[in-house]
């Protein structure tokens, strides 16, 4: 009899978020991807769609949170982990707190808008009614490389400014 496989590691789950980011890159969106895991299954996924939807809230995390909440049938994403390729911004960090996500894992740190430890730490702010366990820097180089590739293409091709 074979024993069951161990659950995937943070690095392995981040690969799924990176695949989402690669979809955004192919669609000329800022390459950020997210997946939400519940009971070792992906129940929500998303990639940035700000330009294609012309919606400033269409961040990868927001799309993944909506998909996961729909899947579970609840706005509370308890017992879930969110994996995202870039440290969330203030909007997404607030949504993570409101959704009661207990754990957040991100790839690259964001020195310009990071709100999970870099500029702010909304997800662990003791003044709020929910705090999130936080792990940053998972596959950071790979996540950052996608962003560097995208913005190099923006500068060289004359694509709209982001």
Residues designated catalytic: 61
CB within 8 Å of 111: residues ≥ 6 apart: 118, 119
Report the C-alpha gap between 92 and 57 in whole angstroms. 9
| DSSP label of 121 | B
The count of other CB atoms within 10 Å of the CB of residue 148 is: 11
| DSSP label of 59 | -
Tokens at residue 69, please? 């909440």
β-pair partners for 106: 84
Backbone angles phi, psi at 15, to 5 degrees: -60, -35
């Amino acid at each position: 009899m074979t024993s069951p496989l161990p659950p995937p590691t943070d690095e392995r789950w981040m690969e799924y978020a990176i695949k989402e980011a690669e979809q955004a890159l192919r669609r000329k969106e800022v390459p950020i991807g997210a997946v939400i895991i519940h009971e070792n299954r992906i129940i929500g996924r998303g990639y940035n769609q700000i330009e294609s939807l012309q919606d400033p809230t269409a961040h990868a995390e927001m799309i993944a949170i909506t998909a996961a909440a729909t899947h579970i049938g609840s706005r509370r994403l308890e017992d879930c982990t969110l994996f995202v390729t870039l440290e969330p911004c203030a909007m997404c960090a607030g949504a993570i707190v409101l959704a009661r996500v207990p754990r957040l894992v991100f790839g690259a740190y964001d020195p310009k808008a990071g709100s999970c430890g870099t500029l702010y730490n909304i997800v662990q702010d003791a003044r709020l009614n929910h705090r999130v366990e936080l792990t940053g820097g998972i596959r950071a180089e790979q996540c950052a490389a996608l962003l560097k590739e995208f913005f190099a293409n923006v500068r060289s091709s004359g694509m709209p400014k982001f």
